[in-house]
A and B are shown apart, each in its own frame.
Chain A
């Protein structure tokens, strides 16, 4: 096995470092506390949504409803959580539970996750429209404070990214239950033979996805201060891209939480990179696509070289 195949985290780290170096080279002023915060601010909710998606991909499913779900959470946060905190918390808890229930149903009835989550994306989107038919609402004060806090040495966005990566790494890679969950993606039948209830495990994985989806929506509102029903729809595709960019694979429970966070940062940086190059903003979305293709090509080249050696 090659070095890169064993350490699948290397390539995401290198990609982010190269992109960051290029950005600093273009715009040296970005190399500051304020500059970094500006670059990575919006990456926090994307990183959380990417972790949510990773929990689903970990058990060999795919979630097409992340974007709609995060939008719904944002709407709940900007309305209920702000006006009636207790009711708001109850709603958010119910949303996490319904995510867990969705996982259990998908496994128990052997339904294709891609379709069920597709259907759920309509449901989440509808509920969001129901709560906030027009853009509006307000972020709770404490959330706003939390998202704009200025810690010493490193900007909030960087601290948050490190924190998210560390917590999810402990949860998914280091802990016992995390290993079993990855086992569900690797070989669910042998996990079942070992005496685990796979339906409960899938519910747990989906519930964790729901939890991180809720955190993503709250973080987003803390940054934007208001919400609308379509605020995070693009997160669905971004989160899938982030997981894969971070060295994850669609099957086999092969995921990397640290990689997923780095993947989300890379995608966010890719969008701002071109504005530093003074290229037209038309190409911002395209840059994300191009960088995604470039990094995955690099992965292929190294994997082939490793295979030949």
Chain B
């Protein structure tokens, strides 16, 4: 019974899938390169996990709530931060401040559109993202500014054997988990996602909760953009592109209910690792980009079907 209960925990599936992909990749090399693979998965998975956790908070708010401006916010934050730093040493914190301010600004702008203009969140974040994208193009002008050396070293460096970016992602995961499970705000968020009207009638500040969720996702996206640009040696206009689908995919594979009112922090990390591992598994089996995408999509759908049929009544 306990085993069955464990299996019915939705985040187990993401971790199982990640472990399977890990094992399948190593099966080819008969175990060589396990450390390197895990290290790479933690590095790249961290970015997906950070944006995924933000997206998770928004999706928890219930049907129709999703942030489509994540890629644009990532690009804008990274572009402006790198521009301010202009490769000068000792400006890393200044750049971080700029990136977080961009996140705060876009988050507030998104919520203003949703709250003041009563736009559906999908349309509000979509329309706003087009404007952020233009801002990024305008301020970037095709330049590729390198991050300051110290920051680049930090983003690609390691501490106690784990990549620094993974530490950032894990720390954020811990914070989000504690806030969701142990704080009043987390309870409010889940309640608002389960039944907005009931939560409002119970006297909860639902609009403040929604505002906080939309600001948090934007700040997380901005942070991920800042780290990703430092990690990969500069900002590019399409750097955030893949994170739109990625952020939604890791949330859903991680076992968070798309119907809202139910978050799952460990699942997001498991799914983020899985998304990287499945690509490297297919790569090591020599699959081309086309086959890789087809299989990735098929696996996403298979996991969603498995997760939905394994949870009767949940």
* B123 and A115 contacting across the interface, CB-CB below 8 Å: no
* Structural contact, B298 and A111, CB atoms closer than 8 A: no
- With contacts A296-B123, A297-B117 known, is A109 near B309, CB below 8 A? yes
| Closest chain B CB from A178 CB (angstroms) | 24
Interface on chain A toward B: helix, strand, loop, or mixed SS? helix
> Which chain B residues border A286 with CB–CB below 8 Å?
130-131, 133-135
A265 at interface by CB-CB < 8 Å: no
* Contacting residues of chain B (282-314) with chain A, CB-CB under 8 angstroms: 288-298, 300-301, 304-305, 308-309
Minimal Cβ-Cβ distance residue in B for A123: B297
Q: How far is the CB of B253 from the nearest CB of chain A, in Å?
A: 9
Range of interface residues on B (Cβ < 8 Å): 35 or more
- A118, A130, A244, A251: which contacts B294 (Cβ < 8 A)? A130
Of B154-162, B165-173, B244-252, which binds chain A? B244-252
Contact B68 A129 (CB under 8 A): no
CA distance A164 to B113 in the complex (A): 32
Report whether B138 and A240 are in contact in the complex, using a CB–CB cutoff of 8 Å: no
- B293 contacts A115, C-beta separation under 8 Å: no
Pick from A210-218, A219-227, A277-285 the stretch touching chain B. A277-285
Q: Which residues of chain A from 165 to 195 have a CB within 8 Å of any chain B CB?
A: none
Find out whether the CB atom of B134 lies under 8 angstroms from the CB atom of A282: yes
Q: Tell me if B84 counts as interface (CB < 8 A to partner A).
A: no
User: Which residues in window 95-142 of B have CB below 8 A to A?
Assistant: 113, 117-120, 122-123, 126-131, 133-135, 137-138
Using CB atoms, name the residue of chain A closest to B120: A250
1/0 contact string of B232-267 vs chain A (CB within 8 Å): 000000000000010011001000001100000000
Supposing A123-B293, A126-B290, A244-B123 touch, asked if A300 and B118 sit within 8 A by C-beta, the answer is yes
Give the complex CA separation of A111 and B306 in angstroms: 10
In the complex, chain A residues whose CB is within 8 Å of the CB of B135:
286
In the complex, residue of chain A having the shortest beta-carbon distance to the beta carbon of B293: A126
Given contacts A112-B252, A119-B298, A123-B297, contact A129 B290 (CB under 8 A): yes
B64 interfacial by beta-carbon distance below 8 Å: yes
Q: B115 CB to closest chain A CB, in angstroms? A: 12
21 CB contacts below 8 A, A to B, read A111-B308, A112-B252, A115-B249, A115-B258, A118-B248, A119-B300, A119-B304, A130-B294, A133-B288, A237-B68, A241-B127, A282-B134, A282-B137, A283-B134, A285-B130, A285-B137, A286-B130, A286-B134, A289-B127, A289-B134, A290-B131
Interface residues of B (CB under 8 A from A): 64, 66, 68, 113, 117-120, 122-123, 126-131, 133-135, 137-138, 245, 248-249, 252, 258-259, 288-298, 300-301, 304-305, 308-309
